[in-house]
Amino acid sequence: MSDNKENTPMVNTGEYFTSGNLAVAEGSLAAGCKFFGGYPITPSSEVAEHMSIKLPQIKGHFVQFEDEIASIASILGASWGGWKSMTATSGPGYSLMLENIGLGIMTETPCVIVNVQRGGPSTGLPTLVGQQDIQQARWGSHGDYEIIALSPNSVQECFDLAIAAFNLAEEYRVPVTILMDETIGHMSEKLVIPDKEEIEIVNRKKPTDEAKDHLPYKADEDLIPPMAVAGEGYNVITTGLTHDERGYPVLDADTQKVLITRLLDKIRKNKDKIIKLEEYMLDDAEFVIISFGISSRAAKGAVNLARKKGLKAGYLRLITIWPFPDEKIAQLSEKVKAIFITEINSGQVTREVQRAVEGKSKVHGLFKLGGAIHTPTEIVEEIERRIK
Amino acid sequence: MTEEEIGLIEAEEHPLDGYLRKGRIPHIWCPGCSLGSVTTVIIEAIKESGIDPKNISVISGIGCTGRTAGYLNFDSFHTTHGRAIPFAIGLGLTDPNRKIIIISGDGDLASIGGNHLIHAARRNADITVICVNNFQYGMTGGQVGPTSYKGQVQTTAPYGNMEEPFNLPELVKSCGATYVARWTALDVRRVKESFVEAINHKGFSFVEVLGSCPTTYGRRNQLREGIAILENFKERAVIEHGIDTEKVAISKEGPIIVGKFVDIHDKPTLTDNMLSIQRMSTASKDKGA
């Protein structure tokens, strides 16, 4: 099986009319994913189903585990075996995965978690849209950490961001979440899968020193340590305990400070490289709508509608949800009259915008509580009502 | 024997040097705990198995036994509470030549990780599970657990445990385990033989080692010293190879049945099945699916 060590991407170049769930699976394959551990849950199950067909064809493995806890644990294990790995779930399953997402953060394990959001809390609206796991993805696991989460708003972007998610996971050695939603997952649009040569792939840094001198958690200047995996002779060591550069548990405040500061900073200091935003008609905008995922489709429509009515509206879309673009929003707040946020929850991104704005402009959250999407008309009507 | 009688032995090297991680000893385990000898036996068994150390991964969950992986100088993984098995399955499937050894405690494997244990047995996953059973939760201070016998006194069973314990060999056997053995920590030679067999076994192998925990188990149950727990095992242990695992439940008194209970070789393993699926999928892809 020595020919099976490489993460050979499966790129099914062509044009398709397909769903977001299948596109995120295809993007993962194109990124070199070889292991999927998962548990069925609506509205994400099509991701697992597609991977169960495709992964064995490239000598990868699909395993349907007994629950989501096993699924996330298995993909951490597979990543330490040198394979790019992923799982897909929805809110309730994501809740079950959180402890081991923390293990992934602490052990700096690259992997990708797709969360096709539905309405919650609890069983909520299994078959209907929600965007209510934004803060769960940020703070759900215990302890202090920084995380990367991406939010596609089209079928094409499900494919593109799957590749981006794997690349970010490999580059920063961190679990990356793709925060989709039921509508993005289930709607069908055109998907273009480019030629293999056009896809940029990032792989984790490998150590170059001798095994006997190797310090597995000694970071380079970029704050990211090279990663040896099992079977390479480095005698890999991982622990969820606070550890030093050797990977040995050292349970004191000094070691904690050094380790956690590095884990936070490797994301914080690279925010500018990580964060991707879409801007539309912002140059002269007096009113800005901030949105993401399916809500952003209506928000963009609302901007066009508002402009027709003579309102100087603009739009900022969060392609990267975490880390949050504080600086960009702070800058915007200095030049606009009001910021509106459309989201399918009761204000999870709005809180972040309020924090970033620091009172410098008005902030209005336009919320749906799950099960339905905003319409452009109602967004514009609400803007008109609030700016009177 | 006093220290003077033994004499101070100074040695440049220890026979286990190279197999234990430099700078990690002394370990955290209490005097009278059997985990030190179990760790030694694991290393001896790995040496005897003839497997290239590069191809060995050891994985633990959380707890006193869960600390074992971190002392061993192989690819070693200290995971979350109960999740060593699914982590190990993911790791193992990335290379069929990789030998996966899970070392964890009864609370970790049979309580919080119980679901993973039974499903790994059902799948005949290619993993060796070494379960050191000390009848309770040691690291957290001696709480009652799923292997505590009726009448056992623990910090959260101050009036004595009222619940039936798991019979672990029966549990994993009924779920599909293809190698099942149990020994007490006193039987180091037999423990080693079983570890070697389990490590070289194809499929799901499970070895239960009844351990001694004087600190949080023994002192509440009239077995104050580690040696008293081992003496108790010695008096009660009866070897019954091949016995029906239904008959090996442990209670407060009476015989403790040990031995090799299951050793089946002809059942496809998880890896066998995954590789079959790969072949089927390639054939179906060639047909244009």
- Interval B169-191 mean pLDDT: 98
How much is the pLDDT for A311? 97
Lowest mean pLDDT among A274-278, A384-388, B58-62, B236-240: A384-388
ipTM of the complex: 0.97
How much is the pLDDT for A1? 37
Question: Token digits for A299?
Answer: 């928000």
Confidence of residue A178 (pLDDT cuts 50, 70, 90): very high
Q: End-to-end CA distance of chain A: give it in Å, rounded.
A: 69
Note whether B54 contacts A5, CB cutoff 8 Å: no
The predicted-structure confidence for A205-240, as pLDDT tens digits, reads as follows 999 999 999 999 999 999 999 999 999 999 999 999
State yes or no: pLDDT of B61 exceeds 80: yes
pTM, entire model: 0.97
Label the pairing between strands B136-137 and B143-144: antiparallel
- Interval B227-231 mean pLDDT: 97
Note whether A74 contacts B76, CB cutoff 8 Å: no
Q: What is the dihedral of CA B59, B65, B70, B74, to 10 degrees?
A: -50
- Interval A76-99 mean pLDDT: 98
The predicted-structure confidence for A158-169, as pLDDT tens digits, reads as follows 999 999 999 999
Q: Which residues of B touch A82 (CB under 8 A)?
A: 94
Contact residues for B236 (Cβ-Cβ < 8 A; gap 6+): B253, B254, B255, B256
How much is the pLDDT for A315? 97
Domains and CATH numbers, chain A: 2-198 (3.40.50.970), 277-387 (3.40.50.920)
The predicted-structure confidence for A101-116, as pLDDT tens digits, reads as follows 999 999 999 999 999 9
DSSP string, A33-54: EEEEEE---TTTHHHHHHHHHH
Q: Pick the residue of A33, A59, A66, A142 with the most B CBs within 10 A to test the interface with B by mutation.
A: A66
Closest CA to A336 of A283, A277, A275: A283
Closest CA to B134 of B212, B188, B65, B29: B212
Question: Token digits for B207?
Answer: 């070895």
- Interval A297-312 mean pLDDT: 98
Contact residues for B288 (Cβ-Cβ < 8 A; gap 6+): none
Q: Which residues of B touch A57 (CB under 8 A)?
A: 278, 281-282, 285
State yes or no: pLDDT of B25 exceeds 90: no
State yes or no: pLDDT of A290 exceeds 50: yes
Residue A70: phi and psi, rounded to 5, are: -65, -40
- Interval A323-351 mean pLDDT: 98
Closest Cα in chain B, distance from residue A49 (Å): 14
Question: Token digits for A300?
Answer: 């963009």
Percent of chain B's residues with pLDDT above 70: 95
Confidence of residue B14 (pLDDT cuts 50, 70, 90): confident
Confidence of residue B3 (pLDDT cuts 50, 70, 90): low
The predicted-structure confidence for A115-157, as pLDDT tens digits, reads as follows 999 999 999 999 999 999 999 999 999 999 999 999 999 999 9
The predicted-structure confidence for B145-168, as pLDDT tens digits, reads as follows 999 999 999 999 999 999 999 999
Residue A333: phi and psi, rounded to 5, are: -65, -20
Distance CA A29, CA A264 (A): 29
The predicted-structure confidence for A16-35, as pLDDT tens digits, reads as follows 999 999 999 999 999 999 99
Mean pLDDT over each residue of chain A, to the nearest integer? 97
Which of B55, B82, B94 has its CB closest to that of A35? B94
Burial (CB < 10 A; 0-12, 13-18, 19+), residue A200, is exposed
State yes or no: pLDDT of B2 exceeds 90: no
State yes or no: pLDDT of B188 exceeds 90: yes
The predicted-structure confidence for B97-123, as pLDDT tens digits, reads as follows 999 999 999 999 999 999 999 999 999
Domains and CATH numbers, chain B: 20-286 (3.40.50.970)
Closest Cα in chain A, distance from residue B286 (Å): 10
Distance CA A366, CA A76 (A): 38
- Interval A88-98 mean pLDDT: 98
Alpha helix stretches (DSSP H) within chain B: 3-6, 35-49, 68-71, 84-93, 106, 114-123, 168-175, 188-200, 226-236, 270-286
| Residue A244 vs residues B13, B69, B76, B142, B198: alpha-carbon distances, Å | 26, 17, 16, 29, 34
Confidence of residue A2 (pLDDT cuts 50, 70, 90): very low
B170 touches chain A (CB under 8 A): no
Distance CA B105, CA A160 (A): 44
Q: How many Cβ atoms are within 10 Å of A122's Cβ, its own excluded?
A: 8
Note whether A236 contacts B97, CB cutoff 8 Å: no
- Interval B47-57 mean pLDDT: 97
The predicted-structure confidence for B251-264, as pLDDT tens digits, reads as follows 999 999 999 999 99
